[in-house]
A and B are shown apart, each in its own frame.
Chain A
């Protein structure tokens, strides 16, 4: 299943799973009530399969995890941030084609 590679990030595990993780981590900030976020879901799942073993890819529900969303000044979703060594190195806000995410990721591999 494509979805198996997609991790779930929370306020609780963000520090260890994203900021202190080795290698790049892609985080999709989303919410249940956001239509475009749902449409982006399959793209994120496909990326997680394509980059399995190379990039950690996961989702963070902003409703359930408000602290992380505030910390990274998320003001619009879907927002996809790429972290490397604890810092944001790329961000894509709004719907975008899969190729845009690939380009952003490939720069940091």
Chain B
């Protein structure tokens, strides 16, 4: 078991930027990657809004660069998944299946994961026609008709991307209006291979009996009319939920499960800091995640300086 000044949980832009800053401050951070190492950018293709890359950069390449940069300055990277934390004891305890770490400060950068519709058939058919990763799985739907569920930027982006493979993409959204930005909406609306079913909810995905997607059952929200749309794949892009189950009853969260931060990256527990999508449901950008990772590392550094200065001298060596 090792005691660290800083343990970072998560390896997206927030966690890795915190690692770069903490490592350069000589805090020898240890970063635990998690299962979805690299975070959501690992699921994207070209990132065109990360400053400094004027021609864009592939999401996985950007994350590989950030990881290398964090390692260059001395971050110890652990390929594990955190299974439990104890933030009620000092030093804090962070456990993976294989190891246990103790830390004077913890930086939470566990991000958010794709939200699902919550249908039993969706879970049963995951990987058999249901997907949350267009860049991973679009390839398998060449020449087929598919659906994208959602009305935000990522739904538009996935729908446009998937027209490279699919013969037809039906965009299903439960409201009349889309949440997506104008530029993304325009891109999707201009694409002749995209069909629209707005004001429409997905009630079921077929066919669990066959073990493969054959269609979806949709219901018009206003008329209540139900119909079955035959298709081969369903891509779910209805937003994200924060990965905060580890911290329940230990850190203050808002009604949606996001960690509440104040005065920078501080959480409800002194010495625990949060950054990136785990505490941000508003901006959710690579660059804002990176920025908040920097804040968390600087806050942790200041906290450690303060903690050290108020520590009483050891009684055994003090002259009486």
Contact = CB atoms under 8 A, between A and B. Distances in A.
Contact of B35 (A34, A69, A93, A97): A97
Contacts of A75: 127-129, 131, 137, 140-141, 212-213, 233
Contact of A97 (B81, B126, B139, B211): B81
B135 A76 contact: no
A76 B134 CA distance: 9
Contact of B131 (A42, A76, A91, A96): A76
B256 to A, nearest CB: 24
- Ranked nearest first, the 8 interchain pairs of A and B with the lowest CB-CB distance are A93-B127, A35-B42, A76-B127, A35-B60, A76-B137, A39-B37, A34-B136, A75-B140
Interface in B1-54: 35-38, 41-44
B36 A36 contact: yes
Contacts of B139: 31, 33, 62-63
A64 to B, nearest CB: 12
B212 A39 contact: no
Interface in A40-92: 42-43, 62-63, 69, 73-79, 91
A79 B36 CA distance: 15
A72 B35 CA distance: 25
B59 interface: yes
A33 B135 contact: yes
A22 interface: no
Contacts of B233: 75
B79 interface: yes
B133 interface: yes
Given A36-B43, A73-B212, A79 B133 contact: no
Interface of A: 31, 33-39, 42-43, 62-63, 69, 73-79, 91, 93-99
Nearest to A31: B139
A79 B126 CA distance: 11
27 contacts: A33-B135, A34-B136, A35-B42, A35-B43, A35-B135, A36-B36, A36-B42, A36-B43, A36-B133, A37-B136, A38-B60, A39-B37, A39-B38, A62-B139, A69-B140, A75-B127, A75-B131, A75-B233, A76-B126, A76-B127, A76-B128, A78-B136, A93-B127, A95-B35, A97-B80, A97-B81, A98-B97
A77 B60 contact: no
Contacts of B79: 42-43
Contact of A93 (B37, B42, B126): B126
Most buried by B among A35, A73, A96: A35
Contacts of B131: 75-76
A32 to B, nearest CB: 10
Interface in B139-154: 139-141
Given A39-B36, A43-B79, A76-B130, 10 more contacts: A34-B135, A35-B41, A35-B63, A36-B42, A36-B133, A39-B42, A75-B131, A91-B127, A96-B35, A97-B97
A79 B60 CA distance: 19
A74 B136 contact: no
A99 B97 contact: yes
Nearest to A43: B79
Contacts of B135: 33-35
Contact of A79 (B43, B44, B127, B213): B127
